[in-house]
């Protein structure tokens, strides 16, 4: 059986752990968990299910349930093309990711610390995952700074700049903007590595630079990979394949969001 979890954020971890324990495949919308305790529970259940799988390897119910989190952007067609563009790059990457998220009032349910968990846990996880996808490496250190208060600032403005360091030496910044003009397209990403550059413009246009030449690729619509991620998950379920996103990656992304919030509070870089 297969379970889709699309409830409010505070219910994700509980439903996911329960479904895994019942031997179900799980597609859970982001975030996977709201705090370290919830994530620890999921990791414990997932590993227990894997041990059970190993013990039953010769039986008719030997396949481990698939766990997938709705990090759709890595499945976007233009993201796939950029990944291919850098597939034989030998050096680490520098990545600048600007997300024009827009202002969200503090009364919105996603901002509630108990129900929504805030925008870092609830949305920035998307962008951490995409940078992981391009680097093929896990985040190991984070540092985050938010806007400082002043007489004219809105205390609900959750604009933030995040720096992530990856195991393979790559560095990425996520500039999450809540105080700009609403007409600006939401996402813009630049990637530099090994004598080549790629620009992703709101998942509708990509520009590739290499050896002094430029190639533009444009799509008729914005495609952030929502359809493809579900198709890939269902294909994995039908064929008995592994999850389209490795479990270790899902955990690392979730941990990174917790550390980002901690870094904002403490004002120091933190290991993931």
Q: Which helix (H) or strand (E) holds 54?
A: helix 36-55
Side-chain half-sphere exposure of 104, counting CA atoms within 13 A: 18
Give dist(CA 19, CA 57) in Å, integer: 21
Q: Which residues of 155-185 are buried (b: 16+ CB within 10 A; e: fewer)?
A: eebbbbebbbbbeeebbbbbebbbeeeeeee
Q: Is this structure's pTM higher than 0.95?
A: no
Q: Rounded distance, CA 161 to CA 85, Å?
A: 27
Determine which helix (DSSP H) or strand (DSSP E) holds 128, and give its type and residue range: helix 125-135
Helices (H) and strands (E) in the chain, counts: 7, 12
Identify each DSSP E strand in 6-138 by its residue range.
Answer: 25-28, 67-69, 94-100
Predicted pLDDT of residue 97? 98
Per-residue pLDDT, 209: 98
Helix (H) or strand (E) holding 234: helix 226-239
pLDDT at 89: 85
DSSP label at residue 111:
G
Q: Identify each DSSP E strand in the chain by its residue range.
A: 2-5, 25-28, 67-69, 94-100, 139-146, 160-166, 171-177, 187-193, 196-201, 205-210, 213-218, 270-271
238, 93, 83, 115: which is closest to 170 by C-alpha? 93
Taking only the tens of pLDDT, the chain with its 272 residues reads 999 999 999 999 999 999 999 999 999 999 999 999 999 999 999 999 888 766 665 544 456 889 999 999 999 999 999 999 999 888 999 999 999 998 887 778 888 888 888 899 999 999 999 999 999 999 999 999 998 766 556 666 789 999 999 999 999 999 999 888 989 999 999 999 999 999 999 999 999 999 999 999 999 999 999 999 999 999 999 998 999 999 999 999 999 999 999 999 999 999 99
Count of CB atoms situated within 10 Å of the CB of 190? 16
Residue 69's beta-bridge partner residues? 28
> DSSP letter at 102?
-
């Amino acid at each position: 059986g297969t379970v889709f979890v699309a409830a409010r954020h505070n219910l994700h971890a509980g439903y996911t752990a329960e479904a895994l324990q019942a031997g179900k495949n799980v597609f859970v919308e982001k975030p996977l968990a709201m705090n370290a305790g919830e994530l620890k529970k999921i990791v414990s259940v997932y590993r227990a299910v894997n041990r059970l799988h190993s013990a039953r390897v010769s039986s008719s119910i030997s396949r481990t349930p698939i766990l997938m989190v709705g990090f759709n952007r890595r499945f976007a067609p233009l993201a796939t093309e950029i990944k291919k563009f850098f597939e034989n790059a030998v050096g680490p990457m520098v990545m600048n990711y600007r997300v024009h998220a827009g202002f969200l009032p503090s009364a919105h349910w996603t901002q509630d610390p108990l129900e929504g968990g805030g925008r870092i846990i609830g949305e920035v996880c998307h962008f951490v995952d995409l940078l992981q996808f391009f680097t093929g490496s896990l985040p190991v250190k984070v540092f985050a700074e938010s806007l400082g208060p002043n007489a004219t600032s809105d205390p609900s403005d959750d604009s933030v700049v995040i720096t992530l360091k990856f195991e393979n030496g790559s560095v990425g910044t996520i500039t999450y903007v809540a105080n700009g003009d609403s007409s600006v397209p939401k996402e813009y990403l630049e990637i530099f590595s090994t004598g080549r550059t790629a620009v992703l413009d709101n998942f509708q246009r990509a520009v590739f630079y290499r050896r002094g030449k430029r190639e533009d690729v444009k799509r008729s619509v914005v495609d952030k990979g929502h359809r493809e991620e579900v198709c890939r998950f269902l294909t994995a379920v039908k064929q008995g394949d592994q999850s389209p996103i490795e479990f270790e990656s899902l955990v690392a992304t979730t941990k990174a969001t917790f550390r980002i919030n901690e870094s904002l509070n403490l004002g120091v870089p933190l290991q993931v």
